[in-house]
Amino acid sequence: MKLQKSFYQRENVVQIAKELLGKTLHTLVDGVYTVAKITEVEAYSGRDDKACHANNGVRTKRTEVMYAEGGHAYVYLCYGIHHLFNVVTNVADEADAVLIRAVEPIEGIDIMLERRKKGKLEKGLSSGPGTLSQALGITTKVHYGKWLLGDEIWIEEAPNLNDTEIVVSKRIGVDYAEEDALKPWRFYIKDNKWISRK
């Protein structure tokens, strides 16, 4: 069953990030269906978080969807190459989001390999925010602003993990955020090989 808007529209982005672990991310792109388990995430808050694109009310054409109600896709281009998929959370105008950093392939693996130009199933297929989007066919052009209860990209239910199954660390690649770079807002599934790094 698809996660409902009540899941996304809660105020605690850190809690939502943790609860996304183990859920399944589904895409239907050009008639091709793929599924993967979410294994690594990072939380970003629109308030008092220098690592967040929309910190304290910053609004640009790129970040505008972060101000929509929770349950929309925020996909942006990083370094002009990588499409990074984020889940917008909270109510409208709060601009919280969860970056999906890694996934474990479940269904449609052949097409994921083709999209990634890989010959065999290995960790590098989808264990990073850019590679997972490529594997699942997620792009800024197609998926930016998409409603996650639609039929192109969505997330389905799975039991919440308990705290002993989750590893907590600081976020990756946000050193510019000064003290906020140290926030322990990155989470991944313990002992799962499909993560970007330990």
pLDDT score for 107 = 98
Name residue, tokens 């990030």.
Answer: 17
Distance CA 139, CA 56 (A): 27
CB atoms within 10 A of CB 73: 25
Please check the confidence at residue 78 and state whether its pLDDT lies above 90: no
pLDDT bracket for residue 11 (50, 70, 90)? very high
- d(Cα 39, Cα 23) in Å, to the nearest integer? 8
- As given in the structure block, the two tokens for residue 67 are 């101000």
User: What is the per-residue pLDDT across 19-70, written as a single tens digit (0 to 9) for each?
Assistant: 999 999 999 999 999 999 999 999 999 999 999 999 999 999 999 999 999 9
Hey, what are 75's tokens?
């996909």
User: Which pTM does this prediction carry?
Assistant: 0.97
Could you report the per-residue pLDDT of 142-179, keeping only the tens digit for each? 999 999 999 999 999 999 999 999 999 999 999 999 99
User: Which pLDDT score is estimated for 25?
Assistant: 98
